[in-house]
A = this chain, B = another copy of it.
Amino acid sequence: MASQDDLFHPVIELPEAVRRARYHRLVGLDDIKLRLRKEAVLLADPRKLQAWADAHHGGDVAVLKLFADRAPLFVFAGDVGSGKSALAESFGCDLADQLDLPVLLYRLKLATRGSGLVGEMTALIGDAFAHLHAEGRRVQGPRGVNSVLVLVVDEADALVQSREAQQMHHEDRAGVDAFLAGIDSLAGAEVPVIVVLCTNRVGALDPAVMRRAAATFTFGRPDDRQRHAVLTQALDGLAIGPETVDKLVARTGPSTGRPGYTFSDITQRLVPAAILRAFPDQPVRDEDLLALAEELKPTPVFAEEH
């Protein structure tokens, strides 16, 4: 069986300062954050669902059985730079804070695709889920779980691309099947594992994967409110006037034939470019920011139709 290092990037114990800060910078995603928090609570302590049923429905509800049959699988779909990966790798900080438990972040290595021997990808994906099962049982303590596990599969389309595609290689189809088997094995296993698939090609995911998702969240480029929040955060301390920020919000939004800025277009390109234009001899001026927002083209949209 492949070792943990073969299967995952180094496991990160959350909360962790950088990721917690990222989590809080992700504005406008409150619904998703709340849903994830609740899912984790129930995984960490399934008795809470019974308690809720007792309190609000007199206890005897059929739905409790359905929960045992569900896979804790979430799909985060959206364009590059929309924050989906950032959220996937940071929401565990919030869970950790809420549950007062450590959260272990597992990130599937793309090398899980194997070294090319047919059948190996299937084996590696099997090993990865076996690992999570073993770990999930290990964290069961006498008084409930003592940590929660999050598995993030970034660029998930590469792993679980739809078997509809006729040109798909058999080994890849087998990999999808192995993944489906892994997910199914989590359903009802009573291990505190949440799986998140991130993709910018949601249409490319296999329907059998999609069907198993407890929920699919779609991440867009930031809207006006989100861009305003991000710009305000990023420009803090530079004495940029509020009306300039408003103009920046407008200029970084979508217009005809051009998409809006991504989160990272603002934080990693627009604002640093303004700093570097000013550095080392001048302050950042409002007009420089506005001019750069005219010049700088947003990251192109990932064309799923390709």
User: A residues within 8 Å of B by Cβ?
Assistant: 18, 35, 38-39, 41-42, 48-49, 51-53, 56-63, 66-67, 69-71, 80-81, 110-111, 113-119, 122, 154-155, 158, 162-167, 169-174, 177-178, 188, 200-201, 207-208, 210-215, 233-239, 262, 264-265, 267-269, 271-273, 275-276, 278-280, 282-284, 299-304, 306
Q: Is the pair A237, B177 in contact by a Cβ cutoff of 8 Å?
A: no
Contact call A57/B116, Cβ cutoff below 8 A: no
Q: Which residues of B contact A171 (CB under 8 A)?
A: 116
Q: What's the minimum C-beta distance from A127 to chain B, rounded to whole angstroms?
A: 13
Task: Verify B57–A239 contact, CB threshold 8 A.
Answer: yes
- Report the minimum CB–CB distance from A183 to chain B (whole Å): 11
Closest to A276 in B: B38
Given the known inter-chain contacts A66-B271, A116-B119, please indicate yes or no for A163 contacting B158, CB distance below 8 A: yes
Known: A166-B306, A208-B80. A174 touches B280 (CB 8 A): no
Partner of A116, one of B113, B118, B164: B118
Cβ of B66 and Cβ of A234 under 8 Å apart?
yes
Bound-state CA distance A39–B280 (Å) is 11
Closest to A172 in B: B170
